[in-house]
């Protein structure tokens, strides 16, 4: 029985750490691969086992909180959240609608996982911090965390809200990261897609003001743009991160208007050159033409040779907020 196996694995490799049930995921998957070859082939775990592991883990995670969190499931999600059940039930519809929307807005790019995707929604900032901080890179940006797609272990979403517009907006952003995580996108493109989806569904969003746009013109130059293409600016100051999200969205929204070439571009774009070769192959031009159209002529093309590539940018790709 796959449920029994999942339960055994989670029990064997899980324990309470500072009052939160944590799983040693690498050990669990190693164990599963070594002892249950019928369920785990090279880099692939049987979807039924993944789903049952998700159930066994989220139930224990929910019970480890005081008072316990609730778990609610749909055919596509496992919601772990705080609050009365009748308040949480409407969120299930929000999850399902967000899934439909993200898949619809990103044809040929977004793919939903084959197991029920766990979504841990915590509106209480202390509980959110306790759960999520050990999962994040230590030197990541210090912005107040709205949400994160955790790609390690059993990939899942964490949303720093458990109701209302914030839940809805953050959910769309993080769900997008989850659904494009099978492609190793450059950070700017990953965040550009996620913020564009967020913007497309957020009825309350304001267009960029003239002052904000002028600030972008003043901020971006030949040095800053290399940090943008390489992804390293996502580990910079709060201000730099904020400019990076803004520019990523400005570049990606017009590209997304033409879904078919954009899907080809996104699937071909690589992290190593920021997507420059893919831009030439699909659009017949350099990525540098995109900021040029917005900010005016300048030295905007990606120059991967000049990038000081380090593990930080890699973390930003793996656990993008
Ligand atoms: Zn993001």
The string of pLDDT tens digits covering residues 4-14 is 999 999 999 99
For the ranges 21-25, 42-46, 303-307, 310-314, the one whose mean pLDDT is highest: 21-25
Tally of CB atoms within 10 A around 105: 18
Asked if 149 and 202 sit in the same domain, the reply is: no
> Distance, CA 305 to ligand 1 centroid (Å)?
26
Domain end call among 28, 43, 67: 67
> 39 and 2 in contact (C-beta within 8 Å)?
yes
> Distance, CA 241 to ligand 1 centroid (Å)?
11
> Distance, CA 37 to ligand 1 centroid (Å)?
35
Asked if 74 and 40 sit in the same domain, the reply is: no
Overall number of domains in the chain: 3
3-state secondary structure the chain: CHHHHHHHHHHHHEEEECCEEEECHHHHHHHHHHHCCCCEECCEECHHHHHHHHHHHHHHHHHHCCCCCEEEECCCEEEEECCCHHHHHHHHHHHHHHHHHHHHHCCCCCCCCCCCEEEEECCCHHHHHHHHHHHCCCCCCCCCCCEEEECCCCCEEEECCCCHHHHHHHHHHHHHHHHCCCCCCCHHHHHHHHHHHHHHHCCCCCCCCHHHHHHHHHHCCHHHHHHHHHCHHHHCCHHHHHHHHHHHHHHHHHHHCCHHHHHHHHHHCCCCCCCHHHHHHHHCCCCCHHHHHHHCCCCCCCCHHHCCCCHHHHHHHHCCC
Domain end call among 182, 200, 222: 182
> Distance, CA 245 to ligand 1 centroid (Å)?
9
| Confidence (pLDDT) at 227 | 96
> Distance, CA 103 to ligand 1 centroid (Å)?
17
Asked if 93 and 157 sit in the same domain, the reply is: yes
Burial class of residue 318 (count of CB atoms within 10 Å of its CB; 0-12, 13-18, 19+): middle
- At residue 162 the predicted structure's pLDDT band, cuts being 50, 70 and 90, is confident
Asked if 226 and 297 sit in the same domain, the reply is: yes
- At residue 318 the predicted structure's pLDDT band, cuts being 50, 70 and 90, is very low
How far apart, in whole angstroms, are the C-alpha atoms of residue 233 and residue 63? 38
- At residue 41 the predicted structure's pLDDT band, cuts being 50, 70 and 90, is confident
The string of pLDDT tens digits covering residues 183-241 is 999 999 999 999 999 888 876 677 889 999 999 999 999 999 999 999 999 988 989 99
> Distance, CA 53 to ligand 1 centroid (Å)?
26
- At residue 310 the predicted structure's pLDDT band, cuts being 50, 70 and 90, is low
Asked if 141 and 24 sit in the same domain, the reply is: no
Asked if 198 and 276 sit in the same domain, the reply is: yes
Nearest to 178 by CA among 157, 199, 158, 200: 157
Selected residue with higher pLDDT from 94 and 317: 94
Asked if 154 and 194 sit in the same domain, the reply is: no
- 147-164 average pLDDT score: 90
- 311-319 average pLDDT score: 47
* Per-chain mean pLDDT for the chain: 91
- 47-60 average pLDDT score: 96
Percent of the chain with pLDDT over 70: 93
Check whether 118 has a pLDDT greater than 50: yes
> Distance, CA 102 to ligand 1 centroid (Å)?
14
- 147-168 average pLDDT score: 89
Check whether 298 has a pLDDT greater than 50: yes
**Could you tell me if residue 56 is left (phi over 0), alpha (psi between -120 and 50 degrees) or otherwise beta?**
alpha
Asked if 113 and 147 sit in the same domain, the reply is: yes
Asked if 102 and 208 sit in the same domain, the reply is: no
Asked if 47 and 164 sit in the same domain, the reply is: no
Domain end call among 20, 43, 67: 67
Check whether 289 has a pLDDT greater than 50: yes
> Distance, CA 36 to ligand 1 centroid (Å)?
35
Asked if 141 and 253 sit in the same domain, the reply is: no
| Confidence (pLDDT) at 203 | 63
> Distance, CA 315 to ligand 1 centroid (Å)?
12
> Distance, CA 5 to ligand 1 centroid (Å)?
34
- At residue 139 the predicted structure's pLDDT band, cuts being 50, 70 and 90, is low
> Distance, CA 72 to ligand 1 centroid (Å)?
25
> Distance, CA 253 to ligand 1 centroid (Å)?
15
| Confidence (pLDDT) at 37 | 80
Selected residue with higher pLDDT from 62 and 309: 62
The domain of 30 spans 1-67
Q: What are phi and psi of 70, to 5 degrees?
A: -105, 150
How far apart, in whole angstroms, are the C-alpha atoms of residue 235 and residue 160? 20
- 241-258 average pLDDT score: 95
How far apart, in whole angstroms, are the C-alpha atoms of residue 321 and residue 316? 8
- 283-310 average pLDDT score: 92
Peptide bond into 67 cis (omega under 30): yes
> Distance, CA 258 to ligand 1 centroid (Å)?
22
Asked if 45 and 85 sit in the same domain, the reply is: no
| Confidence (pLDDT) at 180 | 97
> Distance, CA 260 to ligand 1 centroid (Å)?
23
Check whether 53 has a pLDDT greater than 90: yes
Q: Please enumerate in sequence order all residues whose Cβ is within 8 A of that of 242, keeping only pairs 6 or more positions apart, or say none.
A: none
> Distance, CA 216 to ligand 1 centroid (Å)?
20
> Distance, CA 129 to ligand 1 centroid (Å)?
18
């Amino acid at each position: 029985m796959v449920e029994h196996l999942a339960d055994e694995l989670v029990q064997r490799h899980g324990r309470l750490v500072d009052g939160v049930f944590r799983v040693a995921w690498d050990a669990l998957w190693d164990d599963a691969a070594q002892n249950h070859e019928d369920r785990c082939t090279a880099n692939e775990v049987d979807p039924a086992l993944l789903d049952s592991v998700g159930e066994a883990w989220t139930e224990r995670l929910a019970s480890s909180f005081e008072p316990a969190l609730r778990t609610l499931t749909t055919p596509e999600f496992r919601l772990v959240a705080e609050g009365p059940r009748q308040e949480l039930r409407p969120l299930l519809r929000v999850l399902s609608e967000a899934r439909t929307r993200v898949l619809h807005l990103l044809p040929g790019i977004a793919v939903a996982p084959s197991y029920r995707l766990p979504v841990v929604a915590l509106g209480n900032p202390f509980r959110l911090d306790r759960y999520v901080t050990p999962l994040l890179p230590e030197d990541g940006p210090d912005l107040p965390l709205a949400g994160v797609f955790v790609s390690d272990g059993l990939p899942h979403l964490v949303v720093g809200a458990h109701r209302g517009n914030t839940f809805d907006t953050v959910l769309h952003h993080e769900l997008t990261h989850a659904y494009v995580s099978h492609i190793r996108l450059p950070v700017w493109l990953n965040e550009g897609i996620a913020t564009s989806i967020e913007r497309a569904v957020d009825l309350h969003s304001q267009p960029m003001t003239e002052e904000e746009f002028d600030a972008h013109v003043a901020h971006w130059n030949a040095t800053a743009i290399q940090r943008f293409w390489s992804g390293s600016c996502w580990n910079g100051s709060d201000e730099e991160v904020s400019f990076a999200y803004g520019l990523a969205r400005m570049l990606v929204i017009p590209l997304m208007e033409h879904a078919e070439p954009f899907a080809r571009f996104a699937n071909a774009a690589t992290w190593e050159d920021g997507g420059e070769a893919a831009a030439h192959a699909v659009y017949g031009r350099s990525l540098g033409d995109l900021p040029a159209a917005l900010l005016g002529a300048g030295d905007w093309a990606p120059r991967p040779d000049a990038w000081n590539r380090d593990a930080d940018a890699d973390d930003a790709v793996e656990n993008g907020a």
